[in-house]
Chains A and B, each alone.
Chain A
Amino acid sequence: EPEVTQTPSHQVTQMGQEVILRCVPISNHLYFYWYRQILGQKVEFLVSFYNNEISEKSEIFDDQFSVERPDGSNFTLKIRSTKLEDSAMYFCASSPLAGEWSNQPQHFGDGTRLSIL
C-alpha cells in the first residue's frame, strides 16, 4: 500500500540554525499538510498546500516557517532560525481530496523528530 515517507526520522540542530524536513506524499494525492506534535501534547495543524500554494495556515506557522514543493514528488518544510520550542515531532500528510465532505482521509508519515539544542 502506498505511504507517505518522511526524512530524516530524527534531526538534531543547534538553536538558530535552519532545518529542512522532507516528505514524499502519496503519488496521486493533491493536498499536502504539515502538523506538529510537541511531546505529550496534541497533534496541531501547521499548514496545507494545494496547487503549489498555501491554502491554509495556523497561527503557529509564522514567518519562520515556509513550505515548498520543489519537484513533482517532494514536499518540504523549512524552519529558519530554529528555537528551542520548535522541538517536536513533525508529521507530513497527504490526501487525494479535501474538505469537510470529502470521504478521503489524510494519510500520515512516520514523522521527523526535531530536537533543538
Chain B
Amino acid sequence: SQELEQSPQSLIVQEGKNLTINCTSSKTLYGLYWYKQKYGEGLIFLMMLQKGGEEKSHEKITAKLDEKKQQSSLHITASQPSHAGIYLCGAPRGTYKYIFGTGTRLKVLA
C-alpha cells in the first residue's frame, strides 16, 4: 500500500478556476513538503508544513496540514497556465529519507 496517497491523480481546470490537491499519509506525519515538477524536470520546493494546523501561502498557492487526519491539502486560487505540472507531496521517514506521493498532474487550459 502507498504510504503517501495523492488525489486526484490528474486534474484539468480552466484558467482562473480554483483547485485543491490532497495528500494523505498512512503513517504519522512529522512534516510535509510540497514540490512541483515540470514534465521531465527537477523538483522545485514549494513549501514545508511542520505543525498541525499550520497553513502557508506562496503567491496563489496555499497549503495546510491536518496532523490528526494525517493529511495535507494544497489549494491554488485563480489558476494560471504557469501552474501546470506535477505536484508532489513528500514526507520524511526517519532521519535521512523522504518518501513521495504518487503525484497529481495538473493541466490548466487557457
Contact status A102-B92, CB under 8 Å: yes
The size of the chain A interface, using a CB distance under 8 A, is 29
Chain A residues with CB under 8 Å of B1's CB are: none
Q: How many A-B residue pairs have CB under 8 A?
A: 67
- Given the interface contacts A31-B96, A110-B41, does A100 sit within 8 Å of B33 by beta carbon? no
Contact status A42-B102, CB under 8 Å: yes
Among A48-56, A62-70, A79-87, the stretch that binds chain B is A48-56
Chain A residues with CB under 8 Å of B35's CB are: 108
CA distance A105 to B50 in the complex (A): 11
Contact status B88-A43, CB under 8 Å: yes
Interface residues of B in 56-110 (CB under 8 A from A): 88, 90, 92-103
Contact status B43-A45, CB under 8 Å: no
- Given the interface contacts A43-B43, A100-B30, A110-B42, does A56 sit within 8 Å of B97 by beta carbon? yes
**Option from A45, A56, A109 in Cβ contact (under 8 Å) with B95:** A56
The 8 closest A-B pairs by CB, nearest first: A48-B96, A110-B42, A100-B30, A108-B43, A43-B100, A56-B96, A45-B97, A100-B92
